[in-house]
Amino acid sequence: MLSGTRKVRPKTIDLNLIPLELRRPFFTRLTLLLLGAILLGAALYYVIDNVRAATEWNIYDLETQRDTTAALIRQEDKRIANEKVEADKVAQELKRLKDDITRYNENPQSRTRRVVPIAPAVDAVLGNPPAGVQLTTLSWQEPLLVLQGKAPNTQIIQAYTDKLRGSKQFSTVQLGPAEASSAIPAEYSFTIRLTVPIVRSAE
C-alpha cells in the first residue's frame, strides 16, 4: 500500500519550439481581408446613403424653389395683366371724356357758351402722380371729375390729393375714406371728387 500520493507538475510547453508550419494563427490572412472588406463596405454604404439623402433633399429644395418662383411669376403676370386692363379702361374713359367735352364746347346753346377747361384738369390728374398711385377709373359727371385708384398707403393718397388741390385747376377737391384691400396686403383703394370750374365766354 502506498504511503502517499505524489503531485505531478504539468509540463510547460514552449510554443516557440513548435514548427512554424504547425502553428495556427488566431486570425488568418483571409479572415483579416474579409473583416476589412466588411468594414469598408459598411463605410461606403454610410457615405453613399448620406450622399443620397443630401441629394434628395437638394432636389426637393430646388423643386420647392422652382414651384414658389413659378407661382410668384404667375401672380406677377396676372397683376401686370390686370393693371394693363385697368390702364386701358382709364385711357378709353379719358378719350370719351375729352370727346364729349369737345362736342359740348363746340355746341353753344345761347349767346354765351359754357367752356369746361378739361385739358388742364386732365393734365393735373395724370401729370406725374406720386410713385405708387394707380388710377383705375376716371369718370365725368359734370361738373365733377371722379377718380378711383389704388396706392400702397394712405400717405401717398393724401400726397396725391394735396398735389391736385395745389394745381389750382379744381374749385373743390374731396377725398373719400381710403379702404384697405382684404386680398392684397399694403394696398388701399381711394376715390377723389374734383369739381372742374366752368368758364362762360361770349360768342
**DSSP E strands, the chain:** 112-115, 134-141, 144-151, 172-175, 179-180, 188-195, 199-202
Query: Phi and psi of 175, rounded to 5°?
Result: -105, 125
Give per-residue pLDDT as tens, 49-88: 888 888 888 888 888 888 888 888 888 888 777 777 777 7
Q: What is the CB neighbour count within 10 angstroms for residue 116?
A: 20
Domains of the chain are 90-202 (3.30.1360.100)
190 forms bridges with which residues in the sheet? 149
Q: Nearest to residue 200, comparing CAs of 97, 89, 111? A: 111
103 has a pLDDT exceeding 60 = yes
Q: What is the dihedral of CA 160, 161, 163, 168, to 10 degrees?
A: 150
- Model confidence, pTM: 0.50
What per-residue confidence (pLDDT) applies to 110? 44
C-alpha to C-alpha distance for 51 and 33, rounded to whole angstroms = 27
Residue 192 near residue 173 (C-beta atoms within 8 A) = yes
Write down the pLDDT at residue 189.
93
